[in-house]
Amino acid sequence: MLWSAFSLGVFAVLASSAAAQQDGDVSPPSYPSPWVYGGAKDWADAYEKAVAFVSQLTLLEKVNLTTGVGWEGEACVGNTGSIPRLGIRGLCLQDSPLGIRFADLNSAFPSGMNAAATWSKDLMYARGQAMGAEHAGKGIDVQLGPVAGPIGRAPEGGRNWEGFSPDPVLTGVGMAQTIAGIQNSGVVACAKHYIGNEQEHFREAGTTDFAYSANIDDKTMHELYLWPFADAVRAGVGSVMCSYNQINNSYGSQNSYMLNYLLKNELDFQGFVVSDWWAQHNGVASALAGLDMTMAGDQGLASGDTYWGTNLTNAVLNGTIPQWRLDDMVVRIVSALYKVGRDPYNEPLVNFNSWTLNTTGYLHPQADEDFTQVNFHVDVQDDHATLIREMGAKSTVLLKNIKGALPLTKPKSLAVIGEDAHDNPGGPNACSDRGCDTGTLAMGWGSGTANFPYLISPVTALAQQAQTDGTTFTNVSNNYALDAIAAAVTGAEAAIVFGNADGGEAYITVDGNAGDRNNLTLWQNADNVIATVAANNPNTIIVLHTIGPVIIDAYKNHPNVTAILWAGLPGQESGNALTDVLYGKVNPQAKSVFTWGKDRADWGTDVLYNTTSEAPQLNFVEGNFIDYRHFDAAGIEPSYEFGFGLSYTTFNYSGLDIRKQYGSFYRPTKGTTPPASTYGTIDYNPADAEFPAGFHAVPLYVYPYLDGPLLSGQDDMVPPGSTDNSSQPRVPAGGAPGGNTGLYDIMYIVRCKVTNTGTVAGTEIPQLYISLGGPTDPKVVLRGFDELQLSVGRSKTFKYQITRRDISNWDPVTQNWVVSAYPKKVYIGSSSRNLLLSGVLA
C-alpha cells in the first residue's frame, strides 16, 4: 500500500508511462511523526519552557501559532496568528538569506555564495550574527535563511547564489556558522529549502499539473543533499523550510519520509518545519507527515481559504489529527523561540512593514484595514558596512594574474569599461526584488534579496582612487558603444572591463531567463565588450559579477588579458571591496566555490527547461557526481577548478603528519522514545470553537475559528500508524541532533605546515580532501579547510580533525554510515586539483 499516494503526483506518474529508470520513484511512508520530549540536551531547557507555555493554551490559540494569517495580512512576509488573551503578538517571519527584504535602514550583505568564497568560518559567523542583529532590531522572530537547497546541482540554477556551494562540506560549514551567528543574535534561523529544490523551472504546478519530482536515491541523499542540513540541525537550527518541489513524487510539505523519518527521526530535529509559501497541498496529510507551520497560511496568494486554521481546528475536533500532533507542532515552534533567547511574553514590536516604506500604512494591507503608523524607521545597520566591505574583498577570487598586472600601483591612466561597472540610472533598488540586470550586479533577484541602503558601484570607487593617485581616468558604460570603448582603452596603462550574469527566483523573468539562466555566457553584450577591450589594450583586467560559473576559457588564454577576478555578488560595498583587492589593500584569499568548465556540457547536469510531462521527473542519475566530483571522474579539464584562487604572495606546504586516534566505537542508536504527550486539555465542544460573538473578521484573513458546522464524515486518508502515540524505535544513525554522536568522533588528526614564501603578507586556505577509495566514490571529496594569516616568511600549522563521518559512506541496506574497507587517502592542497601533500589513512 503506497501511502505516499497522498502526494497526488504519484497518480499522475503511474498514469503516464514513465521511461527513465527513476521515473515514478515513490517515497516510503514513515509514521507517526516524531514528537519532541526534551531528550536533546541542547534543547532541554527550551523544551521545558515551551511545554509550560503551551500547556496553558486553548485549541484555537495553538492552531493560531501553526497557521499564517494569509498574504499581506500583517507586517511581515509571514505572520502567524496571535494570542490576545496573553498579550502575545503573532510571530514574524521575514526574508532573506542576505539581509532584511522589504525594509529600510538595513544592510545588503554579500550573498551566501560570497560568504562561502571567503572560506573564513569567522566571517561566515560574523555575517550571520550581523544579519541576525538587524532582523532582531526590526522585531523579526525568524530570518528565512540560510540556504542549502539549491546546493547547486546545475550551474544554471537561478537561486544557487543564495546558498553557498555545490560542495556539501563547504555548504555545511556555511550553514552551521550562519545559523550560529543568526541565533546568537536572538533570531530563529530557517534552513531551506528542504530538499531537492535544484531548479526554478516547474518548481510549482502551473504550466504542468504537478511540480517536478526530484528523484534522489538514498545514498546520494545522505552523502550530498542531506549533508548540509545535518550540519544545520547539529548547529541547533530552530526551523527548516520544506520546498515547493516533490521528492520521489511526494510534495516536500507532506513527504513523510523526508520530514518524519530523515529530518525528525534520523537527524533528531527539535525545531519546527514551515512550508515554503503556498507549498502546502493538503491539510491532514501534511500535519501527519510532519509539517508544523503553514505559510503564508492561505491556500493561494490572498485566496482567503486555508488548509489549516479553521480546517486544522476542525480536524482536531473530528478526531482526525490527534492532540499530541498539534501539541508537538506548537511545542516545536515555541521551543525554537526559547532556544534563541526570545521570550514569547515579551516580544518586541515589529517596527517595519513589508508593504510600505512610508511611515503610515495599513496594519492589514491585504484588506486595507487599520491605517496607522507602521514603519518606525529603525536604523539597524550599525557598522556592518565594514564587515560587508571586508567580506566583499575577501570573497573576490583572483583567477589570473600575469605580467605583474595586479595589484595596481598608481597607474598613469586607467579605463573602466562596461555597464556592470556603473550604477543603475534608476538607483540600486529601481527594480522590485532586483528583477532586472541594469548596471552593476551585487545580488541576484527574487525573494532572496534586500533593499540596498546604497550601492557603491565599481566606477565610483575606482574614480575616487584615481583621483587620489592622480591617475587619468576614463570610463564607458554603454556596452554597445564598441568604438568608444576601443578608443577609451587604447593607450591606457590598464583597462578594467566588467561583465555579469544574473539569475534568481522563478516569479520574475529577466531577458527571457525565468529564474534559471538560459546559458552560461555573460549578459549585457559583455563578451563583445571584453573582446573589444582585449584587442586594443595589452593590460586588460576582467572583473566578473556572476551568480555562478560562466564560460571564460578564451580570456584565460588571451595574452592581453593579464588578470581575471570573480567578485560574485558582493553586496552594498561592491566597488570599495573590489578597489581594495585591485590596489592590494586586501591580498585576495578567496577560492572558487564551484568549477569553471569550458562548455555547458562539461558539468553533466543541467536544468530541465521543457517537458511534455504533467509531473516532470528530475532523475538525479549523476548521484554524488556534481561539480568537481564530476569533472574529476569524467576526466574533464576545467578552466579553473573548485577551490582555486591566487594570492599576491606564494605559499609552501610541507610536513604532513597523520595521527590515528584510538578508542572510539560506533554504536548504532537503539531503544525507543517515550510515548507522545499532550500539553493541556482541549475543549472538544465545536460550539466553543466558533467565531466569538461580535468578532470583526478582517477580509481575506486566516483564522482558527470554525466557519459553520463541524465537517465530519469526509474520507480523508489517514495513513496506517500515523496516529499511533506509543513509544517508537529510534533509528541506528540517529540519536542526537545532526545524527549519531559517534559520527563526530575524531579518527585522525592531520597537520601540515604552511609557509608564506612570497614578498607580502597573505592568507592561505589550506584544503583537506579525502579519497574514500571505493569504485563508486568520487576521486576526492573536500572535508576540511582553514584560514591562515601569514606574514612574510612566517609558517603556521594547519590542523584538521578527521571524524568518522568524514571517512564514511551511507549504506542503504543497514541504514547507517559505514567505514568501508577500501584504502583511504588524505590530501592537503590549495585547490581540488593542486593536492600538494598526501598520505594514507591507515
Ligand X SMILES: *[C@@H]1O[C@H](CO)[C@@H](O)[C@H](O)[C@H]1NC(C)=O
- Catalytic residue set: 276
Which part of the chain contacts ligand X (CB under 6 A), choosing from 170-178, 534-542, 586-594, 737-745? 534-542
Cβ proximity to ligand X: between 115 and 567 the closer is 567
Which part of the chain contacts ligand X (CB under 6 A), choosing from 38-46, 155-163, 514-522, 588-596? 514-522
Q: How far apart are CA 88 and CA 91, in angstroms?
A: 9
Binding mask 134-173 for ligand X (x = CB under 6 A): ----------------------------------------
Q: How many helices (H) and strands (E) does the chain have?
A: 19, 29
Which residues between 170 and 189 bind ligand X (CB under 6 A)?
none
Q: What is the CA radius of gyration of the chain?
A: 27
Q: From the CB of 743, what's the least distance to ligand X, in Å? A: 19
Cβ atoms of residues 191 and 595 within 8 Å? no
Helix axes 526-536, 482-489, angle to 10 degrees: 30
E strand residue ranges, 168-229: 188-194, 213-215
Per-residue DSSP letter, 394: H
Q: How far apart are CA 707 and CA 711, in angstroms?
A: 10
Contact residue for ligand X among 470, 512, 635, 663 (CB under 6 A): 512
Cβ proximity to ligand X: between 440 and 803 the closer is 440
What are the residues whose beta carbons fall under 8 Å from the beta carbon of 301, sequence distance 6 or more? 71, 278
Cβ proximity to ligand X: between 109 and 324 the closer is 324
Q: From the CB of 598, what's the least distance to ligand X, in Å? A: 15
Q: From the CB of 825, what's the least distance to ligand X, in Å? A: 20
What are the residues whose beta carbons fall under 8 Å from the beta carbon of 331, sequence distance 6 or more? 35, 36, 47, 50, 51, 54, 679
Cβ proximity to ligand X: between 678 and 801 the closer is 678
Cβ atoms of residues 447 and 505 within 8 Å? yes
Q: Is 440 helix (H, G, I), strand (E, B) or coil?
A: coil
Cβ atoms of residues 378 and 136 within 8 Å? no
Contact residue for ligand X among 16, 184, 521, 795 (CB under 6 A): 521
Which residues between 425 and 484 bind ligand X (CB under 6 A)?
459, 475-477
Which part of the chain contacts ligand X (CB under 6 A), choosing from 32-40, 404-412, 579-587, 674-682? 674-682
Cβ proximity to ligand X: between 85 and 659 the closer is 85
Q: How far apart are CA 456 and CA 460, in angstroms?
A: 6
Helix axes 384-394, 574-582, angle to 10 degrees: 50
> C-alpha grid cell for residue 522?
555573460
Return the amino acid letter for 154.
A
User: Residue 25, interface with ligand X (CB under 6 A)?
Assistant: yes
Which part of the chain contacts ligand X (CB under 6 A), choosing from 93-101, 329-337, 492-500, 511-519? 511-519
In sequence order, the β-bridge partners of residue 651 are 756
Contact residue for ligand X among 56, 664, 672, 757 (CB under 6 A): 757
Binding mask 634-663 for ligand X (x = CB under 6 A): ------------------x-x---------
Q: How far apart are CA 14 and CA 12, in angstroms?
A: 6
Q: From the CB of 180, what's the least distance to ligand X, in Å? A: 28
Which part of the chain contacts ligand X (CB under 6 A), choosing from 222-230, 398-406, 515-523, 542-550? 515-523
E strand residue ranges, 243-358: 246-247, 250-251, 272-275
User: Residue 611, interface with ligand X (CB under 6 A)?
Assistant: no
Q: How far apart are CA 93 and CA 805, in angstroms?
A: 33
Q: How far apart are CA 166 and CA 171, in angstroms?
A: 7
Contact residue for ligand X among 3, 8, 10, 27 (CB under 6 A): 27
Cβ proximity to ligand X: between 623 and 668 the closer is 623
Binding mask 701-740 for ligand X (x = CB under 6 A): ---x--x---xxxx-x--------x---------------
Contact residue for ligand X among 44, 430, 436, 535 (CB under 6 A): 535
User: Residue 258, interface with ligand X (CB under 6 A)?
Assistant: yes
Cβ proximity to ligand X: between 117 and 263 the closer is 263
Which residues between 274 and 313 bind ligand X (CB under 6 A)?
283-284, 305-307, 310-311
Q: From the CB of 312, what's the least distance to ligand X, in Å? A: 7
Binding mask 349-378 for ligand X (x = CB under 6 A): -------x-x--x-----------------
> C-alpha grid cell for residue 38?
526534551
Burial 26-65 (b: 16+ CB within 10 A, else e): bbebbbbbbbbbbebeebeebbebbbebbeebbbbbbbbb
- Give how far Cα 657 sits from Cα of 653, 677, 800, Å: 12, 52, 11
Which residues between 208 and 247 bind ligand X (CB under 6 A)?
217-218, 247
Q: How far apart are CA 19 and CA 39, in angstroms?
A: 46
Binding mask 388-427 for ligand X (x = CB under 6 A): ----------------------------------xx----
Strand duo 651-660 + 746-756: pairing: antiparallel
Return the amino acid letter for 452.
F
Cβ proximity to ligand X: between 372 and 662 the closer is 372
Cβ proximity to ligand X: between 63 and 391 the closer is 63
Q: From the CB of 599, what's the least distance to ligand X, in Å? A: 12
Cβ proximity to ligand X: between 391 and 676 the closer is 676
Q: From the CB of 248, what's the least distance to ligand X, in Å? A: 4
Q: Is 243 exposed, middle or buried (0-12, 13-18, 19+ CB in 10 A)?
A: buried
Helix axes 323-339, 44-54, angle to 10 degrees: 130
Contact residue for ligand X among 165, 536, 605, 832 (CB under 6 A): 536
Cβ proximity to ligand X: between 321 and 826 the closer is 321
Strand duo 767-771 + 781-785: pairing: antiparallel
- Please give the order of strands across the beta sheet that includes 413-417: 397-401, 561-566, 540-546, 494-501, 413-417, 472-476
Which residues between 319 and 338 bind ligand X (CB under 6 A)?
320, 322, 324
Which residues between 51 and 80 bind ligand X (CB under 6 A)?
60-61, 64, 69
Cβ proximity to ligand X: between 84 and 427 the closer is 84
User: Could you report how far apart the first and last alpha carbons of the chain are, in Å?
Assistant: 47
Q: From the CB of 478, what's the least distance to ligand X, in Å? A: 6
Q: How far apart are CA 616 and CA 618, in angstroms?
A: 6
| H/E stretch holding 796 | strand 795-803
Contact residue for ligand X among 71, 125, 164, 257 (CB under 6 A): 257
Total residues interacting with ligand X, rule: CB under 6 A: 70
Q: Is 663 helix (H, G, I), strand (E, B) or coil?
A: coil
In sequence order, the β-bridge partners of residue 240 are 191, 273
Cβ proximity to ligand X: between 622 and 716 the closer is 716
Contact residues: ligand X, CB under 6 A? 25, 27-28, 60-61, 64, 69, 81-84, 90, 217-218, 247-248, 257-258, 283-284, 305-307, 310-311, 314-315, 318, 320, 322, 324, 356, 358, 361, 422-423, 459, 475-477, 511-513, 518-519, 521, 523, 534-538, 559-560, 609-610, 652, 654, 676-678, 704, 707, 711-714, 716, 725, 757
